[in-house]
Amino acid sequence: MAQKRSCRASTLAKEALDALKAFMELWIPITLGAALAQTLRFMLQKQLKTTQLSTAGTTFARFVYSAPIVGLIAWTYATMSRQGVPTVPAQFFAYAILGGVTQILGTVCVVALFMHRNFAVGITFKKTEVLLSALIGFAVLGDVISLPALGAILVGLVGVLLLSDPPRAQGAWLKRVLNKGTALGLMSGLMFGFSGNGYRGASLSIADGDVLYRALITLAFVTAFQTAVMSVWLVWRESGEIMRVLQAWRIAWLVGLASMVGSLCWFTAFTLQNVAYVNALGQIELLFSLIIGAFVFGEKIGPREWQGLLILTASIVLLVLVA
């Protein structure tokens, strides 16, 4: 009997040690830092959106102020570590451009969403990227979804429906659910699902260099590309908006700084670990957004929205556990 207790205690100790070791894996604290930086960036972008800039201008701010910093950091690190100029294959550009374009579209959707729903709910809609990534894998790659995973997705659908029904709405239920806020939230999740996998593919396609080097090279190219694309768009469609972004530098440069820190953390985590696991851990962003929404914007979450937040979060956790 005593021997069984000793064996059991030894097993529990080993499990605890393994859990601690897993927590200490590098991608975990990096992902936590990415989630915090990204939440702060969305908070600052919401302030820009509601006070000064258009949706595209607010999106552009994150790229134009971070691209020079990222480029300088990448060059400095490559020089000091003596890794030099990388040799990048053709698929690097395909993956990076896919990730860059879909990230722009996803960010535009999230910023526009803030005009329809509050901060915490807007971030929750964005986090449907975990669920939508599973559907993308099934539809495009033929990945088989198990019955438990399908159940988790259906649980998430309940949470999305609760969140998509506007507070104090009247009229037919279907009209209340099928609204612009729902479409923007789901589209942002879809775009970010593509984006994360694009960045992981680009970083892993670089054969040489350490993890940070590959993440920096990918980030430097992507931010420069996104700045160029958004510049052309704003000159074409929103004359004068670039100047307004530059005039709003007091907040906009903080958006760029938070974007740079967050993106570097995300890119490094994507290089170290599967995108699904990184995005799953990134769900802690929901908690960060609730805290910021309450203390910065004075927002209140209604009972139904609390239910939606909890159900959607639970479904994402379940999906990761059973997938």
- Widest distance between CA atoms in the chain: 80
Specify the residue for token string 């996998």: 197
pLDDT tens, position by position, 76-127: 999 999 888 888 899 899 989 999 999 889 878 877 777 766 666 666 677 6
pLDDT at site 233 = 92
**Chain Cα centroid distance, residue 124:** 11
Read off the pLDDT of each residue in 152-160 and give the average, rounded to a whole number.
Answer: 71
The one-letter amino acid at 314: A
DSSP string, 187-233: HHHHHHHHHHHHHHHHHHH--SS-HHHHHHHHHHHHHHHHHHHHHHH
Distance CA 59, CA 105 (A): 9
The one-letter amino acid at 252: A
pLDDT tens, position by position, 208-252: 889 999 999 999 999 999 999 999 999 998 988 999 888 888 888
Domain residue spans in the chain? 28-322
pLDDT at site 17 = 46
The one-letter amino acid at 88: V
Q: How confident is the model at residue 20 (pLDDT cuts 50, 70, 90)?
A: very low
Residues 163/124, Cβ–Cβ less than 8 Å: yes
Distance CA 50, CA 118 (A): 12
The one-letter amino acid at 108: V
DSSP string, 53-118: --HHHHHHHHHHTTHHHHHHHHHHHHHHTT--S----HHHHHHHHHHHHHHHHHHHHHHHHTTTS-
Comparing 176 with 193, which gets the higher pLDDT?
193
Q: Which pTM was predicted? A: 0.74
pLDDT at site 323 = 54
pLDDT tens, position by position, 53-76: 787 888 888 889 999 999 999 999
Give the H/E segment covering residue 304: helix 303-322
pLDDT at site 217 = 94
pLDDT tens, position by position, 23-55: 447 887 898 899 889 888 877 877 776 656 787
pLDDT at site 164 = 59
